[in-house]
Every structure is written in C-alpha cells, then in structure tokens.
Structure 1
Amino acid sequence: MTLVAIEIIGVMLLLTQMLFLVILWSTNFRGYPAKIREEWPKVTLLMVARNESRVMQACLLAFEKIDYPAEKLEIILADDHSEDDTGVILKQWAEGRNHVKVIAIDAFIPNETVNGKANALAQMIPCATGKYLIFTDADCIVPSTWVKSMVNAAEVDGDDKVRKSFKYRKSRGLVTGITQVGGAGLMAKMQNLDWLFTLGMVKVLSDTGQQVTTMGNNMLISKEAYMQVGGFGEVGFSMTEDFQIAKAIHRKGFEAVHLVSQENMVTTQPESNMSGLLMQRKRWMYGAMRLPLKLKVLLALQALFLPLVVLLLINYVFLGWLFWLTKWCLQSFFIILIQKKLGQNISLINLIFFEIYYLFTAWATIVCYFWPSNTTWKGRKY
C-alpha cells in the first residue's frame, strides 16, 4: 500500500467518523422531558473553592436564584486551603441561610491516593443528606432551572428496551450536564466551541450506550451509587477525579445519562491565556489516556488529520483541499446542531477560526502531555 493510499484511508476514516456524529446526533438523541412532580427529592449541592474570590460571587448569586423547594435543597461549600478571601466570602454568604453548610477541609499532602479536589469532596459528602449529590465549581454560573433539570433526568422513567440493550443492572446513578464557556473575546469563543464539540461527541457516545466520562462542574450522582463505589476517597488517584468516579459507577452497573438542554447548561470561565489552557488540557489528557482502546483510536484520528491532510496536499492539492473542506463542513454542521439545541448564536467566522484553533491545540496538548513536567492545578503541583 502506497503512502498516498494510507493518507486517503486515514482522512476518509475521520470523515466517516464526522458523518456518523451528525447522523447519530440527528437520529439517536435521547432527551429527558420534564414531568410535573408533586414531590421533589432532597438534593445536596456541593461546591469546592480554592483561591476563587475573584469569580465566586457570580456563582453564589446564581445559587440564590435556583428554583427548587427550599426545604429540599441542601448546599455544602468548602474552602480548600485558599490563600485569598475565599473562605471569608463563603462564611459571610452562608450566614442566615440554614440550608447552607461551610466545611473546613483537613490539611493533607496530595499523594498517590487522592488529589486536592477529591480530598475535599470526600470530606464533604459524609455531611450530605440528599438523595442526589449535585456538583459544580466556583467559577461556574448555574441557571435557575439547573437542579430541577438534573433531578428530572435522574428520576424520569427509563426505556426498558434501552436499559437491556445497554446492560444496565441498576438504577440511574449518574447524570452529566452540558457546559458552555462564557466570555466575549475570540479565545473564549474558541474554547466554547471546543467544549461543545467535545461534549457533543460524549453525548453521541452516551446515547449509544458507551459511557465515556462526566464533567465535575455539571454532574449529579445518586447517593446510592456514590456509596457503592466507595466515594472519591476510594476510587483511586486521578488528575480527573470526575472521570475516575464515573468509570467506577459504570462498572457497578448503574445507568448513566448525558443531559443536553438549555435548562441545565452551566457557564464556566474561559482560560485567560494559552499556558492555562494547555495545563487544563494536559490534565484532561490523563483521563483520555485511560479510555477504552476504540475510543482512543477515534481521538487519534482527530489528531492525525492535520499531518495526513498536509501530506495529501503535497501530492494532490485539489484532493487535499476537498477533504479538508468536507471535514470542516461536517464538523461545523455538528457544532451548529449543538448550538441550535442550546439556543446559542452561530457564527461562520468563528467556525473558520475554530478549525485553526482546534488543530493547533490538539497537537500542542499532545506535546504538553508528554513533556516531562509537573501538572499545576489550583496552585498544586502533581
């Protein structure tokens, strides 16, 4: 087989993958319509903050606007050894709110047992009394409909045929929400498209029964599932504790679903510079490298597209550009479908810039991941 033939086959495999993403999103999308409920279960909302005084006020303001029965909503907050005014802000906000608890996190040194955030959550959850544990981060803004939307997805009756085909043995134990990146600058818009594209692929895989990961800033876990896997303190060390516990919950046979709707869309802060972005992506790569082989192959096709199409351009210019244009069209159409579902504005200019951004960050992340250096996360080095 010639080199050109290998290049064409590689590119065609990626185009096929893109086409299937579009088809499956359009034909196999699983929604979880809201139901009128007379009774809502008790829920515990958990949020860990570390050096977040600059952005945390918006998060707390959003908590005040959550539409959920007050007597059924418990909020547990933790200051994870911040070096700014985070702890003071949390305590001041909790004053006069009987349903809010602020937990003091015991000191520890990150080791091979647990990372910083997982350590904090493991200490918080024994204080939780809700049927469901719902998680977000201090740099996120949740919509008022968030809790009801996530609980509805956890409680809505499942399709028995779907459950049997996916081989779920137990109740629904995990709900993953959708997250967008806020901000008006070009870099923020590129990160938003990046998150939507990635989470869109996760949604497609989830709806076909292949559980991939979850997002710790928009996640619900049933207390039953959490206790059966032993919690964050028992699932083993990982830079991506959300990925680790999702994997443990799936192994136990609990059903996991991915909810994509405007009602549960959380807004997170963008990384302000390329250094921070690559460090974030390096941390995510630790989780990606622990995916099943077939999923790693799909991700590898994404990264290999650039060298394959460049080599093709050298030999067959027209064919190379045709394949590249086709890939961009399929990729952009997939993102547009997601944005329409979420009610976001669509910009073709941003989609053009995103192609450049995505190919650059994909390879920069690979280099950063294999570069022999520590990963810095929330001021801690691992």
Structure 2
Amino acid sequence: MFIIWIISLSLLLVYFLRIVSYLKGWNRSLQTVHGADDHKGISLVIPVRNEESNIDLLINDLILQDYPEELLELIIVDDHSNDNTCEIVRSRLAEHPGLRLLELDISEQGKKTALHKGILSASHRIILNTDGDCRIEKNWVSGMVKGFSDPGIRMITGAVLFEPCNGIFRGMQSLEFLSLTAVTAGAVGLKSPILCNAANLAYYREDYLRFTDEQVRLSESGDDIFLMLWLKKQYPSSMLFSSVHGTIVRTAPSENLLSFAMQRLRWTSKSRFYRDLHMISTALLVYGLNAMIMFLIIASFRESGLILLTCLIFLGKSITDFLILLPVTRHYGKARLLRYFIPLEIIYFVYVSLIGLFGQIFSFTWKGRRIPVGKQYKPLG
C-alpha cells in the first residue's frame, strides 16, 4: 500500500507542477503583442462535408470580414457532400470576388485531401483555416494574421469555443474544451506548443508544402497537430496564440453521447503517432493520474485504507484543474460554466480512462464514414 501512496502522490505533484507551468504560459500568451495591421494576401481554405445547416451562415461571416476583398481568397473545398452544401455555396459565389468552390474528384476523399487540394490552388502565401460548422467575427481574418508582422512567427492559432453551452451536457463539453484552450495557450506561452486547432489556424503555404513533401500522412485526424510539431522542430519558438476576443471561432458542441464519443475517438486516434516528448509526457500524465483515480476508487472497495488516499488525490486534482479553469473562463466571459465543474470532475477520470484506451483500439465514424483504427497513408502530393 505504501508504494501506491508514493506513486499516486508523485503523479499528483508532477501534474500540479505541469498545470502551474501552463498557467504561467497562459499569462504570457495574454501579454503577447500581436503586431500592427499589415494587410497581406490571405487564402482562407475551408474543407467541408455535409454542412448545409451552417455553410450559409459561415459565408455571411466571410463576406462581412473587415479585410480588403482583393487580398482575401475564400476557397471552399467539398468532400463529396450528399446534402445541399455545394448548391448553397454555388448560389453565393457572385457575392465575393475571391469566393471559389472546389470539389474532390471520385478518386479523392477525406478532409486532409480536401485541405491539400485547396492549399495547392491557393494564390496567397498565408493560409488561414476554419471548419464548415463554425462561426467567425468580422475582424477574425485581420486579427489572426497580425502576428505575421513578426518574421519569426510561422504559425498562429486561436481559441475555439463551444456555443450554445446551455444545459449540463453542453456545459460540461464547453468547460472541458476551455481547459484544452488553456493548455494550448499555456504551452505556446512556454515556447513548446503541444496543441492547436484546425478550426482556427494560420500558417505559411510554403511551410505546409514542405511538410507534406517530407511527411507521411499518419492518421485520418490531425494534420494540424503534425504540422505544428514539424514547425516546432524547424522553427523553435515560432508559434503564437491569439488571445484577442475578435479572433475567437465558435462551433456547436456534440448533440449526443455517440457523436461526442466519435469526436473524442477521432482526436485520440492520432496520439499513437506522436513523437514529441513534451506532448507525450503531458498525455501520459493526464491519462495516468485519471486512471489512478479510477483504480483507487475500485480498489477502495476491497482495501478501506485507500479511501483517504483516493479522496486526497481527487481533491488535489480538482483544485489543480480549478486553478487553470478560473482565469480562462473569466477571460472568455464563461465563468458561469464553472457551475458544471464538480459534475465534470466526477465523470472526467472515467471518460479519460476509457477514451484514452478505446481510441487506440476502436475505429470511429466521421461525417458518415467509418475510419479504421491505425489507418495510414502515403505522402501527399
């Protein structure tokens, strides 16, 4: 039992120190100067599949951007939608001189292929990405690209928030996603990024093309992460997190447990291909501590001497999590989501333990397609 105490308390201590470091990085990201307005040519590439419910609203947002039309190229790439997505886009093409629709050929398939096709056809050096199910503010483009006034910056990522976030299921998703935003910004602030989000991401076209020339497509999910890690090696300290409110991207949370599970399995499936020590250690630390809590709860039914340890570890982790969630929820005006903190903590260790395991052994469904676990690809291009 002594060994269990030592292992559990050691995990908690290391977890606490890691989260405190991200909190420091978060504060640094908030203090980062994002540069002055310097209008450059931007190619906004959006891969879509079956987005008829939102694509019209997104196009409205794109057309209303406070950015010179002649410098903004809007490329929507359709991945064999079987709804009215393409028809809606075609009906809007005349409303912006830079708006284009590309469609994948019969031999082409997948979000990564759609993204690659769009970037190959892009005219400008800076690539900006979002998703077809997102909403953006009118100064999103101008705000996101300000950081490129610094020649040392090669990638910029920003916050993605879930809305609406009413109700306990949506609220817990939103709160958990804010924790990922905090870790994203925190790691960037430490000059060692481990997360980014393709729904709010900017980078240089030549970097992407070099990356795809050198890399194998390792998973059906996660070229954004792998591009980020490649840039981290090629250009250390070259990533910026945009904390400006105008650069927030909003998307809807999952509507039910099945779609939520499929989304998380898709995200987790790529972890087998990570080689970055900081990313791996953080993932193992989070998984290890949550799995330990689950183990301690089960073991406490047979060994009552572990009940105190279980309570200490759970309470210590909860306090640590609250330390980083409090500032990030306040920054984005989402402090009311903290009402879901306790129920989220109660189920979080079960969720992380199961998804972390199942993501390595089960396939997932994305946009009506079944993706086998461990699926690999040859290099793009």
User: TM-score, normalized by length of structure 2?
Assistant: 0.86
Aligned-residue identity in percent: 21
Q: Are residues 1:220 and 2:221 paired?
A: no
Q: 1:129 aligns with which of 123, 126, 143?
A: 123
Match of 1:268 in 2: 251
Q: 2:339 aligns with which of 339, 346, 349?
A: 349
Q: Pick which of 205-214 and 76-85 moved more.
A: 205-214
Q: Structure 1 residues 236 and 34, CA, compared in 2 at 3 Å: closer, same or farther?
A: closer
Deviations 1:231-273 (A, max 9, x none): 7x96524221212222333333272222223121100121111
Q: Deviations over 1:37-87 (max 9, x none)?
A: 3x5111111111101112222222222322112221111112211111111
Q: 2:284 aligns with which of 292, 300, 310?
A: 300
Instruction: Name the structure 1 match of 2:101.
Output: 102
Q: Counterpart amino acid of 1:379?
A: G
Question: Aligned match of 1:334 in 300, 324, 338?
Answer: 324
Partner of 1:279: 262
Instruction: Give the direction of change, closer, same or farther, for the CA distance of 1:150–1:138 in structure 2 (3 Å limit).
Output: same
**How far apart are the structure 2 equivalents of 1:348 and 1:36?**
35
| Structure-2 change in CA distance of 1:251 and 1:326 (3 Å) | closer
- Aligned CA distance change for structure 1 residues 315 and 304 (closer, same or farther; 3 Å): farther
Match of 2:18 in 1: 17
Of residues 144, 156, 163, the one that matches 1:150 is 144
Counterpart of 1:162 in structure 2 is: none
Structure 2: stretches of 5+ with no match in the other structure: 372-381
Does residue 1:191 correspond to 2:173, yes or no? Answer: yes
CA distance in 2, matches of 1:367, 1:73: 43
Is the partner of 2:145 in helix, strand or coil? Answer: helix
Look up the SS of the partner of 1:172 in the other structure: coil
Q: CA deviation at 1:189?
A: 1.6
Structure 1: 5+ residue stretches without partners: 111-115, 159-170
Letter in 2 for 1:72: L
Q: Decide which moves more: 40-49 or 97-106.
A: 97-106
The aligned runs of 1:243-262 (5 Å cut-off) are 243-253=225-235, 255-262=238-245
What's the CA shift for 1:195? 1.5
Residues of 1 paired with 2:26 and 2:202: CA distance? 23
Over 3 Å counting, the alpha-carbon distance change for 1:317 and 1:135 in structure 2 is same
Instruction: Please name the residue that 2:49 is paired with.
Output: 50
Alpha-carbon contact 1:55-1:138 (below 8 Å) kept: yes
State how far apart, in whole Å, the 2-side matches of 1:16 and 1:34 are.
Answer: 28
Counterpart AA for 1:40: H
Report the Cα offset of residue 109 of structure 1: 5.5
For the structure 1 residues 250 and 296, does the alpha-carbon distance in structure 2 shift closer, same or farther, using more than 3 Å as the test? closer
Shift of 1:350: 1.3
Number of paired residues? 360
Contact 2:140 2:248 in 1 (8 A): yes
Distance in 2, Cα, partners of 1:234 & 1:6? 38
TM norm structure 1: 0.85
How well do the aligned residues superpose, as a CA RMSD in angstroms?
2.4
Structure 2: which amino acid aligns with 1:101? R
Q: CA deviation at 1:323?
A: 3.6
> 1:214 aligns to what SS in structure 2?
coil
Q: What letter corresponds to residue 21 of structure 1 in structure 2?
A: Y
CA–CA distance in 2 between the matches of 1:249 and 1:306?
31
